[in-house]
Structure 1
């Protein structure tokens, strides 16, 4: 048997034994984390402001339950001792017989070719054993690499734009509902091995086989409880829902106006006619920098417009007319430090015209 690469060996030595959870930048298991990969100045002319210190498109900000605010990541996004490499390390071990996994991406790695355009506009990783696991929701094309690769790596195409990765640790019982949510989204699964859980979690097995919801209702929401007891609300819509995820459903369900960050190209105007308004984030600014326009950021997230609600969501879909016709979802929570940290990024929004709310 060939010796593992030095990168893989470094990862395996750093991962705590007998854990299948989100692993933080500290190298220890965490209930959840968010990685925000920062954009860089690109050769295509889509440059962020000169004052931004973005040397290589691999820098990131990090946040977890113990963080008060965004902090600099450990090295670059591909750092073997960073949260992302540590969390995904089990996928690239030689012996994967004791884990189950499902990798999905509407823009899969080159090994598997291109999507047919009918799948959900969603990207993520489900990794678990019989006791626990995690759901990683992200916005990165062609990621992560197929498990036949020798080690975790970051795709070269994902350096120019901002990206988010949201990992939550769940007990195995919660993956029944996670599987049901994915059946609405209809993700493009490009790598999988569910043998150890196929008798216990038929919902995930069905998703891996390409099955999806065939009849109304075309949307579903459910509360998910993390390993540490935090509450998350998952929203999932099928392509037949044919409405904007945010203004057509999530804002009303959460009872809150929303400010939505997404890749703003061919976008819809702010949604201002209903009880709850949805506006677009057009400028982002991290404490201490960088500051840039949302056209430089592929991440998809939303925050409540006021601090009384504290809702924050990491999601799959852009606010565009194309999003009407694709499956996708959002994972939302009212965790205070998560809300405060995302809310602090909103430098400018495209507002609704006056009056701010319709008269009652």
Structure 2
């Protein structure tokens, strides 16, 4: 095995070999030496822990390669010896030997040489997979690179490979969202409810849900999230409602307000090919430390620097808008999460002078994406606002991660069952295999505060936890193929918001 590694043959480590091929990676001499040293150490450990078994290695050499010319007997029985002689002369099995893993090979000869196959599998059974060894090599390649040289790998590998669920929130808090009040900012206000006064985005967060066929949305406002409020006006009107007010400086002209807009279906650009499904706007003020991040589900919207125009075809569909106010310093953290999902940026006039200290924002603009593990990202923060502490989580994954975001990322991170409202392809089913970490699919049709909705027309994908208090917006529907695509989820920990969607 060591000779194979030195010769650049990693077929014995299937996961490592696949990783190298997919990422077109090259192992330098240092990494190869480390793998060889690890294999030597592994052999020493086997000698220590399996001393009795290792005594029989020479006797069982026929299991490793039954086609070697010096292998003549098994030492098991006459029947087994006869089968070994026949197998060593079986050309068809000899041709397949090099193409299969050892256990796969012995399974393949079971019908023809049952005595020999059974004896070999009994020896190999304690080592049915090299996965744990391989995953360590892959993790080591991701950690120890020319750009990120780690002289001491033990702590990094321990965190990467442990079976114990690490509570990252207790280790480090990454500031991604922060809802605070900037009274002097010029970021737009919004219309909070029918007949209500305009409210400042900087003192409030807001969630707007528009049900299929409805022109008026339902609103949740910070500080008053105990109830849905009716939208102030028709969402397809040029003004007088929350969507239009939030995007006032995106569709208008204000020299002190700059923004970046991304949408997998950019306005006025037909048939764009992208695996991303994310839509949003990052807005900032050039004369104050104030910004906003708007996440929504509407394709081809908004059209930058053009009079507010609601896409007529979207009135028949259900849509969701989240507006999160943040200080400018948090834009870089948001950009770090967006990097994983490869958003289609169709407009950006944020000057470099505003983002000079934001390296991830610079990478986002240039279209740089992570090419080395990890391919998933998680950030959490507990914020203080007028309504009290608020915990928000953001999860993102790149297309290189083959994790299905609902089960492998959200459920695994929250350690709770989730109830999912989303379009589905009937390939990815609800999952109740792990106790208290189920995925339950909400049946259609449903109702949100008197507005009827159904999965055929609703473009939104969201989930609530069970037990209570977490609401998540996910940018990909509950389809099987989303495991191969980039995806993002924003989860808010708040009893009132949870109750509105539960």
- The TM-score bracket by the shorter chain reads 0.7 to 0.9
| CA apart distance, 1:271 | 1.9
Measure, in 2, the Cα distance between the counterparts of 1:22 and 1:206.
30
Establish whether residue 108 from structure 1 lines up as the match of residue 266 from structure 2: yes
State how 1:7-86 maps to structure 2 within 5 Å.
Answer: 18-20=185-187, 23-25=190-192, 26-29=197-200, 30-40=203-213, 57-65=214-222, 66-79=224-237, 80-86=239-245
Establish whether residue 269 from structure 1 lines up as the match of residue 269 from structure 2: no
Q: What is the aligned residue count? A: 305
Between Structure 1 and Structure 2, which shows a larger proportion of helix residues?
2
Give SS of 2:400's match: helix
| CA apart distance, 1:142 | 1.1
Flag structure 2 segments of 5+ consecutive residues without an equivalent: 1-182
1:22–1:85 CA distance, 2 compared to 1 (3 A):
same
- 4+ runs of 1 displaced by more than 4 Å? 224-227
1:288–1:327 CA distance, 2 compared to 1 (3 A):
closer
Deviations 1:139-188 (A, max 9, x none): 1111111x232x22211121111111111111112212101000011101
State how 1:1-360 maps to structure 2 within 5 Å.
Answer: 18-20=185-187, 23-25=190-192, 26-29=197-200, 30-40=203-213, 57-65=214-222, 66-79=224-237, 80-96=239-255, 98-110=256-268, 112-118=269-275, 120-129=276-285, 131-145=289-303, 147-149=304-306, 151-195=307-351, 196-224=353-381, 228=385, 230-275=390-435, 276-286=437-447, 289-307=450-468, 310-343=469-502
1:21–1:185 CA distance, 2 compared to 1 (3 A):
farther
1:21–1:234 CA distance, 2 compared to 1 (3 A):
farther
State which structure, 1 or 2, has the greater radius of gyration over its C-alpha atoms. Answer: 2
Measure, in 1, the Cα distance between the counterparts of 2:308 and 2:231.
17
Measure, in 1, the Cα distance between the counterparts of 2:382 and 2:308.
28
Tell me if the contact between 2:211 and 2:453 (Cα under 8 Å) persists in the aligned partners. Answer: no
Higher relative contact order (CA 8 A, sep 6+): 1
Tell me if the contact between 1:99 and 1:128 (Cα under 8 Å) persists in the aligned partners. Answer: yes
Give SS of 2:330's match: helix
| CA apart distance, 1:288 | 5.3
| CA apart distance, 1:60 | 1.2
Flag structure 1 segments of 5+ consecutive residues without an equivalent: 1-15, 41-56, 344-360
Deviations 1:299-354 (A, max 9, x none): 111101233xx1111121111022112212111111121111011xxxxxxxxxxx
Measure, in 2, the Cα distance between the counterparts of 1:291 and 1:254.
29
1:266–1:22 CA distance, 2 compared to 1 (3 A):
farther
